[in-house]
Structure 1
Amino acid sequence: MYDLKELEAFVSVVKTGSLTVSTRELNLPKSTLSRRIRGLEDNVGQPLLRRESRRITPNEAGRVFYRYSNEILELALQGRSALDELKEEVSGKLILCCHEALVRGWFSELVESFMTRHKDIRVSIQTQSVFPETVDDGACVWLGGCGETTLRLEPLGQLSQGIYGSPGYFARYGVPETPGDLARHAWVDMIGSGDTGAVLQHPRQGSYPLSLPETAFTVDQFVVQGDAIAKGRGLGLMPHWLVERRLEAHPGTFVPCLTEWQGPVLPVSLVYPHGILPRRLRAFIHHVRNVVPPEWWAPDAAQRSRAVPNSGTHHPTH
């Protein structure tokens, strides 16, 4: 087994080409440096350096051994850093942002479990309705497209969407049987989604551009959209996973229709800065990866196949 101090001395002399310069670099007496070089050569069983004029250069064996010496020292440094991380406490303040649709329930629970594990951490949570330009001292969980950004985006999953209404709405106005029927129904839309021309997808029939009625009611938050649909104001595209979470707390408030037609998929991303990250942020990122709902990568088909009430064919006049 090689002595790391001897390897360090050898690598330094090869780099500097001078015992004198290396003594200054390593802050060692010249006699100690020479002794370490001789000890390494005795250990490997052959000379590694040769003196040429006023410069020291590696011989053929030295050139080969220099490459491995560098690798050994780098691995030793990585191992020491890894052990230091185990001893380092996760502490300090994190500023955590989350899209408004995810902040209640899943996100608040993951922050709570993270803080339970790391007692010395302090957290500030900020709800986001607009994609952040920066995320200093923290990270952001975002739902939907991000556009161009200088931040690092790590995919966490995706949420599929379907068309939902309330049982009361369907009882009053009937259930649409084709995408074309939606034009005769009131619609609760998220601001911006209708402007881009949402397209419905069917596994056999292909795509259908969604044409919204002029009387569409628009909101800027998923929770407000859900409240409006639950109260019978109209139909709307909603992420299946978010609907399932609401149904756990308020059973029977939503019912899907046109269950084989799916809306645009919404990506879920973890957003954080590039570069070297502080220990507390790396710990949080690792924690988020471990609590991502499996449905985000493999949406449950059962979410899209709930029974639809068999109602009449009346259409809204509002």
Structure 2
Amino acid sequence: MDSIFGNIDDLFLFCKVVEQGSLQKAAKALNLPQSTVSRRLAALETRLDLRLLEKKGRELTPTEVGKLTFENLSSGMEQIESGIESLTEQTNQVSGRVRLSIPHSFYRSFIAPTIERFLKTYPSVRLDLVLNNDQAKPETDRDLLITFDIEDMDDMIARPIFTSRHGFFASREYVQQCGEISTPTDLAALDWVAIDQKNKLPFFRDGKLYEEHQIKPRLVVNDIRAVVDAVSRGLGVASLPLRHAKEATNLVQLLPEYHRSDRQSFLVYKARKYQPNAIRVLIEALLEESKDLGTATTKEKNTS
């Protein structure tokens, strides 16, 4: 399709370069040779007699004119994409690329079988799986995020999928060294292994906040399995999800009548009228999996 500026594909390509921040990333996203992307951008600038992009370090950034061009074009390009994808929706094809960001400990413990079944069922779907603990807010209609923190997600759809109950655990050897532990004050005074820098720890009892204490973590590591390993080796006490704690054979739950607040996880994605089939089907699969996780959580609460 041609416009007064030439081939409309070149305008779409320009928008992708701005979104991706480099020729290399845009070429990869569009499955085109980088030389083709560069040549077509140069031809577009020549036809418009405008400098749209400039290089800053290793990234391409839009010039002032390029920013204005992108702002005027991007919404229209998104509508074109939506129109094409709505046609795909009507043919019931499940294809395309999906990006899922998820904490890697959560993936290994709960989600991996669901993802494997999904990929086997829909061979035309390509999945970019990002396993880390960083907060990667969805940027496109094909991005999904599983997170415990939705503080900055007011413009997103956030669907609850799993509630994690915690208890306080230490190794048998560490408990023997500490002597009697009978109150939250005793517990707070011990060496702690923590997953973040939050040093104020709430203690709940019978579903209500009982008291709060300051703790001084001896080790902070942003991976729950690494926390479990450190506690198992006798480095201190930690607040652990009951699921993970049960995987370790030498851990003892301390003050089982107390726990920290439950943590709710969410599946987060952008609101959209026409949702790509691949995203819709994956969301349904993850939510279906969460039903089993919810049953397991109820069992944990009954045994805690």
**TM-score, normalised via structure 2 length:** 0.64
**Residue 262 of structure 1: which of 238, 256, 259 is its match?**
259
Task: Indicate how the Cα distance of structure 1 residues 126 and 303 shifts in structure 2: closer, same or farther if over 3 A, else same.
Answer: farther
1:102 to partner: Cα distance:
0.3
Match of 2:201 in 1: 198
Within 5 Å, which residues of 2 pair with 1:1-318? 88-136=92-140, 137-142=142-147, 144-149=148-153, 150-194=155-199, 197-203=200-206, 206-213=209-216, 216-244=218-246, 247=247, 250=248, 252-275=249-272, 276-292=274-290, 293-295=293-295, 298-301=298-301, 303-304=303-304
Could you tell me how far apart the structure 2 residues matched to 1:205 and 1:113 are? Answer: 40
Richer in strand (by share): 2
1:120 to partner: Cα distance: 2.0
Displacement of 1:296: 6.2
How far is the alpha carbon of 1:106 from its aligned partner?
Answer: 1.4
Residue by residue, what CA displacement relative to the aligned partner does 1:173-218 show, whole Å, maximum 9, x if unpaired?
2352111111332111122332xx22111128851102213x5322
Q: Quick check: 1:160–1:239 contact (8 Å CA) kept in 2?
A: yes
What is the alpha-carbon distance in structure 2 between the residues aligned to residue 262 and residue 270 of structure 1?
25
* Structure 2 contact 165–301 (Cα < 8 Å) conserved: no
Q: Which moved more, 1:218-227 or 1:257-266?
A: 218-227
Distance change (3 Å), C-alpha of 1:268 and 1:183: closer
**What is the distance in 1 between the residues matched to 2:149 and 2:180?**
31
Secondary structure class of the residue paired with 2:262: strand
**CA distance, structure 2, for counterparts of residue 129 and residue 260 of structure 1:** 29
Runs of 4+ in 1 over 4 A off after TM superposition: 84-87
Cα 1:296–1:286 shift into 2, 3 Å: same
Q: Could you tell me how far apart the structure 2 residues matched to 1:206 and 1:129 are?
A: 27
Contact 1:98–1:127 (Cα < 8 Å) also in 2: yes
Residues 1:132 and 1:205: Cα distance change in structure 2 (over 3 Å): closer
Q: Distance in 2 between matches of 1:296 and 1:175?
A: 32
Question: How far apart are residue 138 of structure 1 and its match?
Answer: 2.6
Alpha-carbon distance, 1:86 to partner? 8.3
SS of the equivalent of 1:291 reads helix
Contact (CA 8 Å) 1:114, 1:284: kept in 2 or not? Answer: yes
Aligned-pair CA distance for 1:253 = 3.1
Taking the aligned partners of 1:193 and 1:122, their CA distance within structure 2 comes to 37
Instruction: Indicate the residue corresponding to 1:10 in structure 2.
Output: none
Q: Aligned partners of 1:171 and 1:227: how far apart in 2?
A: 18
Unaligned runs of 5+ in 2: 1-87
Deviations 1:8-31 (A, max 9, x none): xxxxxxxxxxxxxxxxxxxxxxxx
**Residue-by-residue CA offset, 1:238-285 (whole Å, 9 max, x unaligned):** 1113323xx1xx4x1322111010102111100111113100000000
Whole-angstrom CA distance in 1 between matches of 2:195 and 2:252:
19
Q: CA RMSD in A?
A: 2.4
Instruction: Tell me if the contact between 2:160 and 2:266 (Cα under 8 Å) persists in the aligned partners.
Output: yes
Distance in 2 (CA, whole Å) between partners of 1:230 and 1:135 is 39
Shift of 1:299: 4.9
Native 8 Å contact 1:163 1:258 kept in 2:
yes
